[in-house]
Amino acid sequence: MYADIVEIVASSKAAAGELVNVEVRVKNLATYGIYIAVTGVFDSTQITFTPDYASVNAGATYSFYGSFTMPSKKVTITAYSWYWTGSDWYQDDKMTKTVDLTTLTPQINEFKIAAFNKV
């Protein structure tokens, strides 16, 4: 193992239609610099991460960023780390994180009396 997923950072709850930001932190376990990439899915929907790949120094941790629109159900994000062998990308590690569906609760921010009739 060379590209260890350290953490998936994402909201634990989101409302349907809300943008969910995802950060995947990957550590280079090799004793030399390597190219690392991240891919991800939820319910067979691809999550695109930026950058596409990065040159990561030995022992360093690098963050990849992506996002998706929350569907109307709970989802499990699955992230995969990859490293470049010099001729091919090799899938190395896998981690999951669940995002529960929540509903938006209406809030009253201000209450005004628009008209008053004295009886």
**CATH code for the domain of 39:** 2.60.40.10
pLDDT score at 34: 98
69 forms bridges with which residues in the sheet?
A: 19
pLDDT score at 111: 64
Q: Confirm whether 111 is domain-assigned.
A: no
Contacts of residue 106, defined as CB under 8 A and 6 or more positions apart, other chains included, come to none
Q: Confirm whether 114 is domain-assigned.
A: no
Query: What's the CA gap between 98 and 14, in Å, rounded?
Result: 11
Q: Confirm whether 115 is domain-assigned.
A: no
pLDDT score at 91: 97
Helices H, strands E: what count in the chain? 0, 9
Contact 95, 6 (CB under 8 A): no
Q: Residue 51: is the preceding peptide bond cis (ω within 30°)?
A: yes
Identify which of 61, 74, 59, 56 has the alpha carbon closest to the alpha carbon of residue 10.
74
Owning domain of residue 28 = 3-102
Identify which of 97, 77, 85 has the alpha carbon closest to the alpha carbon of residue 36.
85
pLDDT digits (tens, 9 = 90+) for 50-67: 999 999 999 999 999 999
pLDDT score at 105: 65
Q: What is the pLDDT along the chain (119 residues), one digit of tens a residue?
A: 899 999 999 999 999 999 999 999 999 999 999 999 999 999 999 999 999 999 999 999 999 999 999 999 999 999 999 999 999 999 999 999 999 999 766 666 676 666 667 76
The secondary structure of residue 50, as a DSSP letter, is B
3-state class of 44 per DSSP?
Answer: coil
Q: Confirm whether 112 is domain-assigned.
A: no
Domain count, the chain: 1
User: Phi and psi dihedrals of 104, rounded to 5?
Assistant: -75, 135
